[in-house]
Amino acid sequence: MKRDPLLVLFLLCLSAKSLQAQTFVGTMTVGNYIKNDVTVQVQPSSSPDLVSITLFGVKFAKLMPVKLDVKIDSILKKDNLLTGDNIVPTNKGKQYEKYLVRHLEGVIERDGLRFTCQMGRKQLDYKGMKK
């Protein structure tokens, strides 16, 4: 069976695009602390069904003295749904067991990202639009 070269090229481009990192800007809520303009990136993993989420320059409380780049690895991605449990987040390669990510659920939509999880003892909610 002969394959149409344009169709093959289209499918390769579509596949490559789906593996690219996606950046979002939105609102993060942690407990009663709300932060707008939070940049989040969803990045592909070496495994086709796993992604990571990085939250850039975030604080989890108003009085938190420093901002962190928090990375959550090993999130299962099936179609556009995201799930994960018992994931130790990292900042600059250092693990933060105290902020264990539990019950992560989310969705990558056409123009946005929504996810929620338990991070340590606090509930974290995020909703952002594609940058």
Predicted structure pTM score:
0.84
> Using CA atoms, how far apart are residues 88 and 43, in angstroms rounded to an integer?
17
DSSP 75-116: EEEETTEEEE-SB--EETTEE-GGG-EEEEEEEE-SSEEEEE
pLDDT, one tens digit per residue, over 47-68 is 889 999 999 999 988 898 999 9
Dihedral sign, Cα of residue 102, residue 98, residue 33, residue 58? negative
The amino acid at residue 111 is D
Coil vs helix vs strand at 1:
coil
Domains and CATH numbers, the chain: 20-130 (2.40.160)
pLDDT, one tens digit per residue, over 109-130 is 999 999 999 999 999 999 999 9
